[in-house]
Amino acid sequence: MKLPVYMDNHATTPVDPAVLEAMLPYFREHFGNAASRTHAFGWTADEAVERARAQVARLVGASAREIVFTSGATESNNLALKGVAEAYRTVGDHIVTVSTEHRSVLDVCRRLAEQGARVTVLDVDGAGLVDPEEVRRALTDRTILVSVMAANNEVGVLGAIGQIGLLCRERGVLFHTDATQAAGKVALDVEADCIDLMSLSGHKMYGPKGVGALFVRRSRPRVKLAPLLDGGGHERGMRSGTLNVPGIVGMGKAAELAGELRELESARLTVLRDRLFRGICEKLDGVTLNGDAVRRLPGNLNISFASIDSEALISALHDVAVSSGSACTSATLEPSHVLRAMGMEDRRIHSSIRFGLGRFNTEEEVEHVIRRVVDSVRSLRAMAPGHVPAATVAGPSHAGDTGED
C-alpha cells in the first residue's frame, strides 16, 4: 500500500491511465486547432472534439449537439444561470435555488440579485434534502429558472431531480442541475429527469482539470443562452475561445469509462464506504453521520466526531488525505454553509470530516484509514478530558444509491 492514502475524491480525482493515454497524442502529434477547417491538423482535432462530445452526451442521455465545452463546472454554472437570466429577462426575473448549492451557483445568484433579479433560496431538512413541494410553492409567473444540484459535494446527498424536473416542465420553467459530483457515479438521464441545463466537470470523473461541459437542451424546449464570452462564435456562439482539445479528449474518454464502470464501481464503493463507517463506529463513540443515510453518493461519507476539532484531526491524519468540506471554500475559516443550512450547531460542524472514496481506493486502504482515524481520535480526546459520548446513527446502506428518482 502506497502512502499517503487519498480519500478526497470529491475535491478532485486522479486521471485514469486510459484517459491520459487518450490525451497524449493531442499535445504533440495531433496539436491542431479544432477551428482550423482548411487542413488535416484542424480536421483531426475537430474529429476528436466531436467524438468527445458524443461520449459526454451518452453519459447523460443527451445528443452530441447539446454539449457545450467549458473550462469546468464553475464556468458551466455561470453560463447556465447568467445566460438564462440575460436571455429571458423579458419573460421573467425570478430564479429558485437551494441553500446547499455549490458557491458557483449561490454566488452567481447573489450577483444576479444585485443586478435586479429576484432569487428564492430554499431551505433543506436535517438530512440535507429539499422537498420538491417547496420548489413547487416557490414558483411564480415570473420564474424562469430552477437550479438544484444532483448530488451535494459535501454530504453527498442525492437531490430529487426527476421530481423537480417534472414539476418545472409542467410549469414551463427551465431546470438546471449541477451534476458535477453525480456524473459517472449515479444514473443521469436528461430526458427522463426533464433537465434543460446540466453542468459537468472533467476532473471529478477521473479526467483532467480545466475542462467541463454544459448540456443545453435543443428542443422541447429549445434553451436560449446569452454567452459570457464573445470573440469567435465557438461552441455555436455560446462559448468563444480556442478549444482545449487534449482536455476535451480526456473528458470524453473519462465520461466513456464512467458510463461503462458505473454500476460495478457503485457497488464496490458502497461496500468500502460502509466498511469504513462501520469500522470507525465499532471502536469509537460519538460518531454521527451527516446527510441522508440512503440517498447519497456511493463513495461519500461525511461524519462528525464528538469532542474533536476537524482541523486537528486532519493534521493528525498526516498519511490520509481527507477534508472538512468543499475544496473551493477550504481556504476560508467560515463553517460549512452546507452543514449550517442543515441546522447543525457550530460545534458539530467544526468536528466534521468528509471522506471521498474513489475508483482506486482498496480494502487495504480502508482498513488503514480506520486504524488511523480511531487512534487519532482517541489521542485527541485524551487531551480533552471533557468528552461526552454522542449518539451514533445507523450507517449508510446500499438501498437507493442508484440516484434514480
* One domain, residues 280 and 239: no
Among 192, 160, 181, residue whose Cα is nearest residue 61: 192
Instruction: Decide if 194 is catalytic.
Output: no
Residue 395 domain-assigned? no
Residue 88 domain-assigned? yes
CATH for 113: 3.40.640.10
Residue 330 domain-assigned? yes
What pLDDT is attached to residue 333?
Answer: 58
Domain count for the chain, please give it.
Answer: 2
* One domain, residues 242 and 358: no
What pLDDT is attached to residue 327?
Answer: 47
* One domain, residues 55 and 155: yes
* One domain, residues 110 and 191: yes
Residues 134 and 98 sit within 8 Å (Cβ to Cβ): no
Among candidate residues 168, 194, 281, 328, the one labeled active-site is 328
Among 26, 21, 74, residue whose Cα is nearest residue 256: 21
* Structural domain containing residue 105: 17-258
46 backbone dihedrals φ, ψ, rounded to 5°? -65, -40
What pLDDT is attached to residue 233?
Answer: 81
* One domain, residues 251 and 357: no
Please tell me the pTM assigned to this model: 0.93
* One domain, residues 233 and 273: no
d(CA 346, CA 285) in angstroms, rounded, equals 20
Among the candidates 214, 238, 258, a domain finishes at 258
What pLDDT is attached to residue 78?
Answer: 98
d(CA 292, CA 128) in angstroms, rounded, equals 7
Residue 393 domain-assigned? no
What pLDDT is attached to residue 161?
Answer: 98
Cell of 390: 454522542
* One domain, residues 170 and 247: yes
d(CA 337, CA 108) in angstroms, rounded, equals 16
Q: What is the pLDDT along the chain (405 residues), one digit of tens a residue?
A: 999 999 999 999 999 999 999 999 999 999 999 999 899 999 999 999 999 999 999 999 999 999 999 999 999 999 999 999 999 999 999 999 999 999 999 999 999 999 999 999 999 999 999 999 999 999 999 999 999 999 999 999 999 999 999 999 999 999 999 999 999 999 999 999 999 999 999 999 999 999 999 999 999 999 999 999 988 888 887 898 999 999 999 999 999 999 999 999 999 999 999 999 999 999 999 999 999 999 999 999 999 999 999 999 999 999 999 998 644 444 555 789 999 999 999 999 999 999 999 999 999 999 999 999 999 999 999 998 665 555 445 555 543 333 333
* One domain, residues 269 and 375: yes
Among the candidates 221, 238, 258, a domain finishes at 258
Residue 404 domain-assigned? no
